[in-house]
Amino acid sequence: KAGVTQTPRYLIKTRGQQVTLSCSPISGHRSVSWYQQTPGQGLQFLFEYFSETQRNKGNFPGRFSGRQFSNSRSEMNVSTLELGDSALYLCASRKGTSADTQYFGPGTRLTVL
């Protein structure tokens, strides 16, 4: 069974631009979560989607948004990029609403110049 995939793997943008990251969960997984990982803050939860609905949201500004499609694939968007948005963005999937094991993708390394 294929793992969680994320595209692109690397991205360079400039301040003020916007970016869209994509995540394909493991087949059969309906929950997708997004995390931001930086050396300064560690792993921080952005949001979780289940069956196309945002179920949980972390403490990030409205510039960070996401969505999930009917095939469970998810995208996250960051608008008006800031230097501090440079990070590894990780997507993780799990089966459903119970405390299932969460599996991570390889991440998208975003650099904002």
Q: Which of residues 14 and 97 has its CB atom nearest to another protein in the complex?
A: 97
Give me the DSSP letters along 63-99: TEEEEE-TTS-EEEEE-S--GGG-EEEEEEEESSSSS
Report in angstroms how near the CB of residue 84 gets to another protein at its nearest: 12
Cα of 80 vs its chain's centroid, Å: 17
Binding positions for another protein, rule: CB under 8 A:
4, 33, 38-43, 45, 56, 90, 97-99, 101-107
Report in angstroms how near the CB of residue 16 gets to another protein at its nearest: 25
Report in angstroms how near the CB of residue 100 gets to another protein at its nearest: 9
Q: Which two tokens stand for residue 95?
A: 């089966």
